[in-house]
Amino acid sequence: MATIGLDKLFYAKITEDKDGNETYATPVQLAKAMTADLSVELAEATLYADDGASEIVKEFKSGTLSLGVDDLGGSVASDLTGAVIDSNGVVISTAEDGGDPVAVGFRAKKSNGKYRYFWLYRVKFGIPATALATKGDSITFNTPTIEGTIMRRNKVDSKGKHPWKAEVTEGDVLDPDVITNWYKTVYEPYFGASAPV
């Protein structure tokens, strides 16, 4: 079903243990969302046998997330890109900047009024693009765009796999607390017989 809206753009900082397994901080709002373009790159291989394709493997390799937002505040820019805020509150970007990966969550409104919720578990952002223009006869809004690379997370789920995305549509979830708590914590995959306690 088609989506007709996008909102509630959040991010959560990641802390890694000695093995690289992620723990997520409490999510905070990134900015007001305008656009979110998600593309995925797959690693593919085809095994040919008896003059035809015998086996085909397609696995997640990485992805790209391009976010159009209304504005990036200083603390958000610092968290996402590694820029620092000096003693005067000025955001300083350097050639050596490189922000740490974060988890990114958002939701998209569907044409039936329900929402589809997303968490991308590990996104490393680059420097935001900025377009500026002088004011002419009409007003034109110029807003930042920030692009990040989506990676699988290091921490395995209970099935021994490395998730890169969690996605659910409102009404399809068995436990309503999943939606209620979507922005309180980064969603953790659950494969038990009943809802976790």
Give per-residue pLDDT as tens, 114-129: 899 999 999 999 887 7
100 near 162, Cβ under 8 Å? Answer: no
Instruction: Give which of 117, 126, 162 is closest to 22, Cα–Cα.
Output: 162
Give per-residue pLDDT as tens, 29-62: 998 888 888 888 878 888 888 888 888 888 888 8
- Give CA torsion, residues 151, 154, 158, 159, to 10 deg: 60
Tell me, what's the pLDDT at 140? 67
Q: Identify the three-state secondary structure at position 109.
A: strand
Token output for 3 = 């989506």
Distances from the Cα of 79 to the Cα of 75, 110, 182, angstroms: 6, 30, 21
Tell me, what's the pLDDT at 197? 47
Token output for 57 = 């493997």
Q: Distance between CA atoms of 67 and 140, rounded to whole angstroms? A: 19
Would you list the domain boundaries of the chain?
3-37+67-180
Low-confidence ranges of the chain (pLDDT < 50): 197
Predicted structure pTM score:
0.82
∠ CA 134-137-140 to the nearest 5 degrees? 55
